């Protein structure tokens, strides 16, 4: 398929992006474009203008301090996957990035694009929620738990642009993904993050959007061990059934992946 006619304009600054988005209500910011362009080619969306963020170097920085890893919105997945510094502080984040799509997609796709798109089967929302991140936009800061609203829906207002995502560095964390055999998106992805004081478990791929599993979080908060998850079942009532998996199987996979994620963090000799 070939996309509908569209205008392309490269933005020179974040302010310029805001200007263009304000002037063209049906404009879309274009980050890496790995989902947006693909969707436009299938004629699933038809913005009149694409505001290309590709030239905005100020959005490509990775900042790490004692508590946080902050990724500029235009940081590519490959950058995260290959970053020694990130691998040192949140290896799960680097490994999540390394599992997105394929090498070519990772060379183009961006954190900001993925988070703003909020594909229910995308990986990043799991990290954002489990790592209790803050999404910084051109106008405000949004807590992870408030950011993802529904399928492909976020708290972003028209004209608002993500500029960075600030992840909290956990004591330990792991992300495991059961790949859809065709698309390589997550059929189920489970991100477990242990902050010492609390544990966060975020699931993607299984329902209309990322969600947390409170019962698992409480159990792991009491004792961070795979056995703590014994008997905890995720209800399949709200989960997706589609060509690739029925809800019941997704629910089962969540339990299995969560256990394996925890186990990978508690097994002797394994890295934090």
Partner 1 sequence: MATISIRVNGTQVTREMEDRTLLVHFIREGAGLTGTHVGCDTAQCGACTVHLDGRAVKSCNQLAAQANGGEVRTIEGVANDDGSLHAIQVAFRQHHGLQCGYCTPGMVMSALDLLRLHPTPTEEEIAGHLDGNLCRCTGYYNIVKSIQTAARMMAGA
Partner 2 sequence: MNDADTPRVIATEGIEASTVEDAQYIGKPLLRTEDRRLLTGKGRYVDDVVLPGMAWCAFLRSSHAHALITRIDTQAAREAPEVLRVITADEWAAADMGALTVVHPMPFSDGRPMNTATRPVFARHKVNHVGDIIAAVVANTREAAQDAVELIQVEFEELQSNVDVAKALDQATPLVHEQFGSNAVFDVRKGDEAATRAAIDGAHKIVELELRSNRLAANPIEPRSYACSYDASEERYTLYATTQQPHYLRRSLAVYALFIPEHKLQVIAPNVGGSFGIKGNFPVEVATVVWASRLVGRPVKWTATRSESMMSDTQARDHFTKARMGFDADGRIVGMEVDTLAALGGYLSNFAPSIPGNSYPQTITGLYRTPNLFFRVRGVYTNTVPVDAYRGSGRPEATWVNERLVENGARELGIDVVDLRKKNLIGPQDFPYRTLSGRSYDSGNPPLLLEKLLTLSGY
Partner 3 sequence: MGIGLACFLDKAGTGPSANLASRGGLHGGYETAVIRVHSDGKVSLFAGTHCHGQGHQITYAAIAAQRMGIDIAHISVVEGDTDRIPFGNGTWGGRSVSVAGTAIFKAADEVMAKTRRIAAHVLACDAAALLYTKGIFSNVAGKSISFANIADLAYHGANLPRDAAFSPGLEATAFYDPPDSNDPQAMHLAVVEVDADTGVVDIQQYFTADDCGVLINPMIVEGQVHGGLAQGIGQAMMENVAYDAVSGQLLTGSFMDYAMPRADSMPVLKTTFIETPAPSNPLGAKGASESGTIGAPAAIGNAVVDALWHLGVRHIALPLTSEKVWRAMAQARAEASAVPPVEMAIRPPGPSSHTRNGFR
List residues near partner 2 by CB under 8 A.
Answer: 1-2, 4-5, 42-43
The span of 46-54, 129-137, 196-204, 212-220 binding partner 1 (CB under 8 A) equals 46-54
How many angstroms separate the Cα of 97 from the Cα of each of 118, 241, 255, 261? 15, 26, 22, 16
CA dihedral 176, 237, 124, 138 (to 10 degrees): -160
**b/e map of 93-123 (b: 16 or more CB within 10 Å)?**
bbbbbbbbbeeebbebbbbbbbbbbbbbbbb
The span of 7-15, 126-134, 211-219, 254-262 binding partner 1 (CB under 8 A) equals 7-15
Q: Are strands 199-204 and 186-194 parallel, antiparallel or unpaired?
A: antiparallel
What does the binding site for partner 3 look like in residue numbers (CB under 8 A)?
42, 95, 98-99, 174, 176-183, 226, 243-246, 249, 252-253, 256-257, 259-261, 263-264, 267
Closer to partner 1 by CB, 77 or 172: give it: 77
Closer to partner 1 by CB, 53 or 130: give it: 53
**226 lies in the binding site for partner 1 (CB under 8 A):** no
**7 lies in the binding site for partner 1 (CB under 8 A):** yes
Closer to partner 3 by CB, 24 or 179: give it: 179
Cα dihedral across residues 47, 41, 203, 130: positive or negative: negative
Task: Answer with the entry of partner 2, partner 1, partner 3, none that 226 interacts with (C-beta below 5 to 8 A by kind).
Answer: partner 3
Q: Are strands 211-212 and 199-204 parallel, antiparallel or unpaired?
A: antiparallel
Beta bridge mates, 29: 51
Residues that bind partner 1 (CB under 8 A): 1-8, 10, 30, 33-34, 37-38, 41-42, 50, 52, 54, 78, 82, 101-105, 107-108, 182-184
């Amino acid at each position: 398929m070939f996309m509908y006619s569209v205008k392309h304009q490269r933005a020179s600054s974040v302010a310029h992006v805001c200007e263009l988005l304000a002037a063209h209500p049906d404009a879309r910011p274009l980050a890496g474009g790995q989902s947006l362009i693909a969707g436009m080619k299938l004629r699933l969306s038809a913005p009149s203008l694409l505001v290309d963020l590709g030239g905005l170097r100020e959005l490509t920085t990775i900042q790490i301090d004692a508590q946080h890893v902050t990724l500029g919105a235009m940081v590519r997945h490959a950058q995260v996957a290959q970053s020694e510094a990130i691998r040192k502080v949140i290896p799960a984040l680097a490994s999540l990035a390394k599992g997105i799509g394929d090498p070519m997609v990772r060379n183009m796709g961006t954190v900001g694009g993925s988070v703003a798109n909020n594909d229910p089967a995308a990986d990043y929302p799991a990290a954002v929620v489990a790592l209790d991140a803050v999404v910084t936009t051109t106008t405000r800061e949004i807590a992870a738990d408030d950011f993802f609203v529904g399928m492909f829906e976020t708290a972003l207002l028209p004209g608002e642009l993500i500029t960075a995502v600030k992840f909290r560095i956990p004591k330990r964390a792991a992300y495991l993904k059961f790949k859809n055999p065709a698309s390589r998106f997550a059929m189920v992805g489970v991100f477990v993050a242990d902050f010492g004081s609390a544990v966060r478990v975020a699931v993607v791929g299984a329902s209309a959007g990322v969600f947390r599993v409170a019962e698992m979080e409480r159990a792991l908060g009491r004792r961070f061990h795979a056995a703590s998850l014994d008997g905890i079942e995720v209800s399949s009532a709200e989960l997706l059934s589609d060509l690739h998996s029925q809800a019941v199987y997704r629910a089962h996979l969540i339990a299995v992946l969560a256990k394996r994620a925890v186990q990978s963090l508690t097994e002797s000799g394994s890295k934090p």
